[in-house]
Amino acid sequence: MAKTLRETGKDAVATATARLRHAGLRPTRQRVELASLLFKSCDRHVTAESLHDEVADAGVKVSLATVYNTLHQFTEAGLLRQVIVDASRSYFDTNTGDHQHFFLESEGMLIDIPGETIAVAGVPAPPPGLLVDRVDVVVRVRRG
């Protein structure tokens, strides 16, 4: 049986609302709903589609456009991080800290690798006029 926010996560709502306010985002019904789902457990990896399905399964109607808007706003606000590993889908990661990923392409599955685990040495200075923004490591894995 699907339950509304009010029935299930009173504190989740409070937390989400606070988080949104803190990020300078108006805590609308949709944003609170999505934030509650995203930040309930940690280290989640979602696509717009998957989150849209999830929120629908929770019995709440949020348009796909809003899911896209929200994912981007959350990302800009530093609440999410976009992970680019697949040419055809965008993933968003609730873990915004320094870390890397395993990626199982066949199933679209991402697994976090803590930031301290992997060390990247020898990154050369970028060409003149360019600054390093971030170093991403993707460990592509397959069944086998």
Closer to DNA by CB, 98 or 109: give it: 109
Count of residues touching a second copy (by CB under 8 A): 37
Among 70, 74, 79, 85, binds DNA (CB under 7 A): 70
Among 6, 26, 61, 142, binds a second copy (CB under 8 A): 142
Partner from DNA, a second copy, none contacting 10, C-beta within 5 to 8 A by type: none
Among 9, 13, 15, 30, binds DNA (CB under 7 A): 30
Among 36, 66, 94, 100, binds DNA (CB under 7 A): 66
CB 45 within 8 A of CB 90: no
- The 27-56 contact track toward a second copy, x by CB under 8 A, reads ------------------------------
CB of 1 to a second copy, least distance (A): 33
Q: Is 92 helix (H, G, I), strand (E, B) or coil?
A: strand
Residue type at 118?
Answer: I
Supply angle C-alpha 101, 102, 106, rounded to 5: 130
Element (H, E) at 6: helix 5-8
